[in-house]
Structure 1
Amino acid sequence: MSVPVLLLEAAGPESGQLARTAAACGHRVHAVTDAATLDSYPGALRQLLAGCLVTDFARPDQALKDITGYGRRIGAKALLTVNEYLTDLAARACAALGLSGNDPERAAAARNKALMAAAFEAGHVFTPSTTIVANRRQLRAAAGAVGFPCIVKPADGAGSAGVTAVTRLEELEQAWQAARQAQVMYGLPRDERVLVQECVRGREFSVESFTQHGVVTHLCITRKHTTGGSHRVELGHALPAQLPAAAQSALLDQASRAITAVGVRNGAAHTELVLSPDGRCTVLEIGARLGAGHIGVLLQHALGLDPWRTLWDIALGSPTTIAPTTPGYATVRFLTAPHAGRLVCVTGLPAVTTTVPSVRMRTATGADVGPATSNRGRLGHVIVTGHDPRAVDDRADQILRQITITVDPGKGT
């Protein structure tokens, strides 16, 4: 049955896939965005939209009024977002429209890391020791309380922007500045507070989950490839992770606690965790959305799931069965610049095949680039799929070794 649905922001890979899926199901897709972002919508996206509301996300209360008013006028039957910055607004809009969504009273805790830390403590979630800093004067005392190394991050950041691993006192000031200068989308009101957290050592994972009417289904555990050093940028994802039963149980238990703590009741959740050598599982943070970085595409290739269709079914309140249909494996690896400068060329990219289904550069030749200090520094990606995890990972490593990224250090930033 064709129904009108609302999508808070249609720009971006995951949002675009949600829009295309809804349109393919016959639904009338209405996007909500701001004036600046609307100008970047490609023609193909504009053509599949039944309508578009332009609002000012920088004024959340007014945006909520605009969205609820528009939603009532079109008779919206569902509202979704996969945009990190809009999950709180989406929960409040769903509540106002009487649609399936998350707890509006707790939704901000899935966005703001300071609120998240408090929600995790109340929900008995294992988390790093955290001190919230309101000004520079409190910084040294906070780092002293947490100890070195420590992680300094903005309260309202996303995509690893403004996150720094600090190993000694002299690095605190620069980390503070990076956290305070991290950009937020849409000119949203800033939370100027900064978190100083214990640096938990171990392997990094994420748990991908769907919840409907408060019932949680964990789809899989994702292994994360990250950089070391001062900036912990995600260089790849692989799923489903192959882990002993006890480790899987620990990760899924903590993910369930985190999901409950921030009020995810209908929709996706992406929970990031560390598994320490002693088996202790620590939740770093959670997003009330599908995992970014092509995790949705990996779910399709590895498990035979259609996360986009499932998300719309949940938002529409339709019964849905969430279960893998294929026993596969998939990984994405991201390309980054070796140093700052102007991107001259990228050679050695593989051809697209059935086992290498996606090869894409998102940064054009001639663009200014720099070493990735956040997930926004990725230049492109390669996805590899198959049935044997070791063979897939080996193939992905081989492809990366064959790719050469040439950057002229005398140009650019």
Structure 2
Amino acid sequence: MNTRPPAILFMGDLVIVARQLRLITEAHRRGYAPLLVVTPHTDPARLAELRADPEHPLSLLADVVEVADAKVDYVVPGIQPLLRRYDVRAVLCVGDFFVEPVGVVGDLLGVPGAGMAASRISRNKLLQRTAMADLSPAFEVVTPADRTGPVGEGLSFPVVVKPVARFSSLGVRQVKAREDLPSVLATYPDDETVLVESRVVGPEFSVEALTQNGEVLWSGVTAKQTNESGGIFFTEMGHTSPAPIPDADRAALIAANTTALKRIGFRDGISHAEFRLSENGPVLMEIATRLPGDAITFLWHLATGEPLEPVMIDLALGEPTSYPEPRRRAAQVYLEHPYGTLRDVTSTGSPVSWVSRDEIWPVFTPQAADAAPADHAVLVTVVPGDVLGPQTDSEARSASVVFDLPLDEAVEPLAKQYADTVTITVEGGGS
């Protein structure tokens, strides 16, 4: 007789788990022991402090295991004590690092999930390009040994250089002229393989999808704004869900995403793919078998009126589920900031949430479909004392505003209006 308590195993470090705390509370509400696997990126003293606070959702965690690295060879041995003590019914990835081990462990335990192959492919851009060449831009693989030879001779410029196994726009660079490519390639570590891709012209979108038993149950298209027009970087500076685009474009993006999910063999869970919409149709930038980053899950909550986390739990447990279509539009806009040592972030509008300092995100409350536009939060992802500089990647951003509005109203005027309520002050009096 199995006397072990039923459990749901989450894998993710504190910085990301703190964003999706509803996963922990939802597992507990359903009678499952929430378990968590972290790496040394999580401060054990801080995690212990939060678990000891009865007011914090992390106090609901039944057990925590730290592994040396978010790799299969560390995770599988590390979770053995949990498997002996608990009857693990579901495994969920929270964030990028644990995508592959979550897929492997799910298959090993025979529970619903992305699957080993899909999880592995989604962590490596070269595998994605190889599996979906027809959805990809023209590209060339450059190993460290290839850097001394001719590179990119068959590609049109400008090109984009992308590390094969990084994420969050880390290391992604635009190169406008062929003669500049060798010096850019020389900036990458000696053991890193990169892709050199022809630059795809067109707006960028992400497609979030919910899939069960290999069939897509729901898809949503999010418009992205980046800072690429001002330099060589591709940092995401805003998201709008659902994207304000024609139905034909939305249908084309969803169809391309559905094809990509089928191609990698994705079975169960939430996925997040990024596309450029070129004049010839959608072009896949990358696909990930995990929840989206930034505040996108909350944007869909505000847009549809329903949170995503309970559906994620349903999919992980293999239970029938559904998710509604959007009735409003929601947006997150990252702010330009002055350079210097951060002193404070203040707002004359919605409250400021220091999500990286306090390890908790605000509660978002959906509005009626026809309600007036509303700002919901100012999210600060740095802490006082951090040095603010160029926003070269996602980790270099500082603050954003989250708001929602009726589907028939324009986002841009409100983005400026709500951004103007925020003041970012750095050492020396800048703001």
In 1, Cα distance between the equivalents of 2:240 and 2:173? 24
In 2, Cα distance between the equivalents of 1:208 and 1:6? 23
Once the two structures are TM-superposed, the CA of residue 293 in structure 1 deviates from its matched residue by 0.9
Tell me what 2:274 maps to: 272
Tell me what 1:360 maps to: 379
Please give the per-residue CA displacement for 1:335-393, whole angstroms capped at 9, x wherever unaligned.
34344x21244454522497212222222333212111111112122100121453444
Contact 1:349 1:399 in 2 (8 A): no
Tell me what 1:117 maps to: 129
Instruction: Describe the shift of the 1:129–1:51 C-alpha distance in structure 2 as closer, same or farther (beyond 3 A).
Output: same
Q: Percent identity?
A: 29
Tell me what 2:232 maps to: 230
What amino acid sits opposite 1:332 in the alignment?
Q
In 2, Cα distance between the equivalents of 1:176 and 1:68? 42
Please give the per-residue CA displacement for 1:175-226, whole angstroms capped at 9, x wherever unaligned.
3255439xxxxxxxxx721111111011111111011111113331100011
Once the two structures are TM-superposed, the CA of residue 139 in structure 1 deviates from its matched residue by 6.6
Contact 2:70 2:97 in 1 (8 A): no
Gaps of 5+ in 1: 182-190
What amino acid sits opposite 1:90 in the alignment?
V
Contact 2:217 2:322 in 1 (8 A): no
Alignment of 1:1-400 (within 5 A): 3-9=6-12, 11=14, 12=16, 13-39=18-44, 40-41=46-47, 43=50, 44-57=56-69, 60-67=72-79, 70-121=82-133, 124=134, 126-135=135-144, 137-138=146-147, 141-180=150-189, 192-228=192-228, 229-276=231-278, 278-324=279-325, 327-339=327-339, 341-352=340-351, 355-400=374-419
Tell me what 1:186 maps to: none
Instruction: Describe the shift of the 1:143–1:409 C-alpha distance in structure 2 as closer, same or farther (beyond 3 A).
Output: farther
Secondary structure at 2:291 match in 1: coil
In 1, Cα distance between the equivalents of 2:180 and 2:111? 47
Aligned residues: 395
Contact 2:301 2:308 in 1 (8 A): yes
Contact 2:8 2:32 in 1 (8 A): yes
Instruction: Describe the shift of the 1:59–1:299 C-alpha distance in structure 2 as closer, same or farther (beyond 3 A).
Output: closer
Once the two structures are TM-superposed, the CA of residue 267 in structure 1 deviates from its matched residue by 0.5
Once the two structures are TM-superposed, the CA of residue 152 in structure 1 deviates from its matched residue by 0.5
In 1, Cα distance between the equivalents of 2:320 and 2:144? 48
In 2, Cα distance between the equivalents of 1:347 and 1:321? 39
Once the two structures are TM-superposed, the CA of residue 136 in structure 1 deviates from its matched residue by 5.7
In 2, Cα distance between the equivalents of 1:144 and 1:267? 40
Tell me what 1:185 maps to: none
Secondary structure at 1:363 match in 2: coil
Contact 2:225 2:236 in 1 (8 A): yes
Contact 2:204 2:224 in 1 (8 A): yes
Contact 2:12 2:36 in 1 (8 A): yes
Contact 1:4 1:77 in 2 (8 A): yes
What amino acid sits opposite 1:328 in the alignment?
R
**Aligned-residue RMSD, C-alpha:** 2.5
Please give the per-residue CA displacement for 1:51-75, whole angstroms capped at 9, x wherever unaligned.
1122222553242233355235311
Please give the per-residue CA displacement for 1:81-105, whole angstroms capped at 9, x wherever unaligned.
1221211110100011111112213
Higher mean C-alpha deviation, range 101-110 or range 348-357: 348-357
TM-score (norm: length of structure 2): 0.84
Contact 1:212 1:314 in 2 (8 A): yes
In 1, Cα distance between the equivalents of 2:93 and 2:304? 23
What amino acid sits opposite 2:274 in the alignment?
E
In 2, Cα distance between the equivalents of 1:46 and 1:306? 19
In 2, Cα distance between the equivalents of 1:89 and 1:220? 26
Contact 1:272 1:284 in 2 (8 A): yes
Contact 2:347 2:378 in 1 (8 A): no
Secondary structure at 1:23 match in 2: helix
Secondary structure at 1:146 match in 2: coil
Secondary structure at 1:145 match in 2: coil
Contact 2:275 2:284 in 1 (8 A): yes
Once the two structures are TM-superposed, the CA of residue 141 in structure 1 deviates from its matched residue by 2.8
What amino acid sits opposite 1:25 in the alignment?
R
In 1, Cα distance between the equivalents of 2:177 and 2:338? 25
Instruction: Describe the shift of the 1:68–1:116 C-alpha distance in structure 2 as closer, same or farther (beyond 3 A).
Output: farther
Contact 1:113 1:285 in 2 (8 A): yes
Contact 1:163 1:178 in 2 (8 A): no
